[in-house]
Amino acid sequence: MAHYLVVRLSAIGDVAMTIPVLYAVAKAYPQHSFTLLTQPFLTSLLIDPPSNLEGMGIDIKHEESSLPGLLTYIGRLKEERFDYVIDLHNVLRSRIIRTYLRFFGVKSFHLKKPRRQLRRLTARPPKQLRPLTSVIDRYAQVFAQAGLDIRPPYPIIFDGTDNTNAELSIVEIGSGHHLVGIAPFAGHAPKTYPIEKMREVVRGLSEREDIQIFLFGGKGKERKILEQWAEELPRVVSVAGMLSLPQELSLIRSLRCMVSMDSANMHFASLVGTRVISVWCATHPAAGFLGYGQRPDDCMGVELDCRPCSVFGKKPCYRKDYACHNIEPQTIIDKIVFTLTDSISDETEN
């Protein structure tokens, strides 16, 4: 029996993408034990995990953000007597962790990032759009290097049964026949569909009496915007800032579909097997960050020779016109309506 330390410190969506692979490995190798090292609030993603998998929190925002704090924390890690480190992040902090533990005989395996291919993918035109290996598959390759070979399909949370005890703090979730989630925000403006256009999408859907809409977002400014939409439009409920992560996942699982940017909400929906209509502006699924199990034909974006201009959507538009934002709201509405009909057909066939 061996004890594996699996390191993925951030970001939220990337940690979410580790879960299907991690659950698959833990279930395939019950003789070993696995510990996911990540930020404390992200350990709540481990819902109904295999018995040989647990989470461990590291506060990289505060206590362990400095080098002395990190080294003190690593000293405590040494006492856990890990046999191997699986580094799925391969950043300075994770490299320090695995290098320190190597002095005590802990062997490590780490993610190899396709930096050269990503630079080619995000270069200015002319260029060729060559899809990269998905991040999920890259994670699986690291485990394979450690002798832990797995094959898809990978498990999802709440697979077959709802094992969460979360009680949603929503008195009435509405009487619409179709529950649709919309998460209009992303971490960076270049990969975020213009908020005024997304309001038009919400308004158009709210005119249909057979659709109930849930708006997802963070606290502060996002919550204020979404609550205003909910007040102004029928059959629209904002849950921004209201739910814990397990509660949010439980609600997302009940949706017919989720509409999301290239953001964490796409990966949350993927964790629970909910179909996602993903809106890609400056970024592109060819970089390998499409949610696990999602369909490429559910990805919406403008065909431009400059896309993607960055991997994570941080770079400002060098053209200055943000042409990648020019998706008509009605096009998104039509795609959602078609998806709702399509999902009913799938259920009828099954």
Kindly state whether residue 168 falls inside one of the protein's structural domains: no
Single out the residue of 327, 340, 258, 322 nearest to residue 294, CA to CA.
Answer: 258
Q: How confident is the model at residue 160 (pLDDT cuts 50, 70, 90)?
A: low
Query: Could you give the 3-state DSSP secondary structure of residue 85?
Result: strand
Give the model's confidence band at 341: pLDDT under 50 very low, under 70 low, under 90 confident, else very high.
confident
Tell me: pLDDT of 343 over 80: no
Torsions phi, psi for 38 (to 5 deg): -155, -175
Q: Is the pLDDT of residue 212 over 80?
A: yes
Task: Write down the mean pLDDT value for the chain.
Answer: 92
Tell me the CATH number at 211.
3.40.50.2000
pLDDT at position 229 over 90: yes
Q: 127 and 198: one domain?
A: no
**pLDDT at 164 (0 to 100):** 42
Regarding whether 328 and 197 lie in a shared domain, the answer is yes
Is 160 within the bounds of a domain?
A: no
**Inter-residue contact 217 to 224 (CB < 8 Å):** no
User: How far are the Cα atoms of 41, 115, 167 from residue 244, in angstroms, in the given order?
Assistant: 10, 35, 10
pLDDT tens for each residue of 20-40: 999 999 999 999 999 999 999
Identify the band that residue 166 occupies on the pLDDT scale cut at 50, 70 and 90.
very low
Contact at 8 Å (CB) between 218 and 232?
Answer: no
Q: Is residue 340 part of a domain?
A: yes
For range 287-308, the mean pLDDT? 97
For residue 348, pLDDT beyond 90? no
Secondary element (H or E) of residue 35: strand 33-38
Residue 185 and residue 135 share a domain = no
Residues 195 and 294 reside in one and the same domain: yes
pLDDT band at 347 (very low <50, low <70, confident <90, very high): low
Same domain, 248 and 300: yes
CA angle 106, 110, 116 (to 5 degrees): 155
Q: What length does the chain have?
A: 350
CB–CB of 268/294 below 8 Å? no
Mean pLDDT of 130-151: 97
Look up residue 154 and give its DSSP letter: P
> Sign of the CA dihedral 231, 237, 238, 242?
positive
The reply to whether 186 and 50 lie within a common domain is no
Half-sphere exposure of 318 (CA within 13 A, CB side): 11
Torsion of CA 5, 10, 16, 19, to 10 degrees: -10
Q: What dihedral do alpha carbons 215, 218, 220, 222 form, nearest 10°?
A: -40
Q: Is residue 171 part of a domain?
A: no
What's the pLDDT band for 249 if we cut at 50, 70, 90? Answer: very high
What stretches of the chain show up as alpha helix (H) in DSSP?
A: 12-28, 67-78, 92-102, 115-121, 135-145, 195-206, 221-232, 245-253, 264-271, 329-349
- Distance between CA atoms of 294 and 342, rounded to whole angstroms? 14
In terms of domains, do 301 and 216 share one?
Answer: yes
* Domain tally, the chain: 2
Query: In angstroms, rounded to a whole number, what is the distance separating the alpha carbons of residues 114 and 160?
Result: 35
- Report residue 253's pLDDT band, with 50, 70 and 90 as the boundaries: very high
- The residue type of 283 is T
- How far is 34 from 6, CA to CA, in rounded Å? 7
Q: Can you tell me which residue has the tokens 């094992």?
A: 163
**Prediction pTM value:** 0.93
Task: For tokens 């998905």, name the residue.
Answer: 134
Q: Report the share of the chain in percent with pLDDT over 90.
A: 88
Domain final position from 122, 146, 170? 146
**Span 168-193, pLDDT tens digits:** 545 455 555 799 999 999 999 999 99
If asked whether residues 209 and 333 sit together in one domain, one would say: yes
Region of 294 on the Ramachandran plot (φ > 0 left; ψ -120 to 50 alpha; else beta) = beta
Task: State whether 188 and 336 are in the same domain.
Answer: yes
- 221 in the same domain as 133: no
Counting Cα atoms < 13 Å in the Cβ hemisphere of 337 gives 15
Q: Which residue segment(s) compose the domain that 285 sits in?
A: 178-349
104-114: pLDDT as tens digits? 999 999 999 99
Q: What is the pLDDT of residues 50-74, one digit of tens each?
A: 999 999 999 999 999 999 999 999 9
- Last residue within a domain, chosen from 124, 146, 168: 146
The token pair that represents 177 in the structure block: 């026949």
Domain presence at residue 151 = no
User: Are 38 and 140 contained in the same domain?
Assistant: yes
In a domain, residue 152? The reply is no
- Band of residue 346 on the pLDDT scale cut at 50, 70, 90: low
- Whether 170 is covered by a domain: the verdict is no
Helices (H) and strands (E) in the chain, counts: 10, 11
Residues 45 and 188 in one domain: no
- Give the amino acid at 273: G
Residue 263 maps to a domain:
yes
Parallel, antiparallel or unpaired: strands 107-110 and 33-38: unpaired
Q: Given a cut of 60, is residue 270 above it in pLDDT?
A: yes
Q: What average pLDDT score do residues 303-324 get?
A: 96
What is the three-class DSSP state of 193? Answer: coil
Q: What pLDDT is recorded for position 177?
A: 74
In the prediction, which pLDDT does 2 show?
Answer: 98
Tell which of 146, 167, 197 closes a domain.
Answer: 146
Q: What is the pLDDT of residue 342?
A: 79
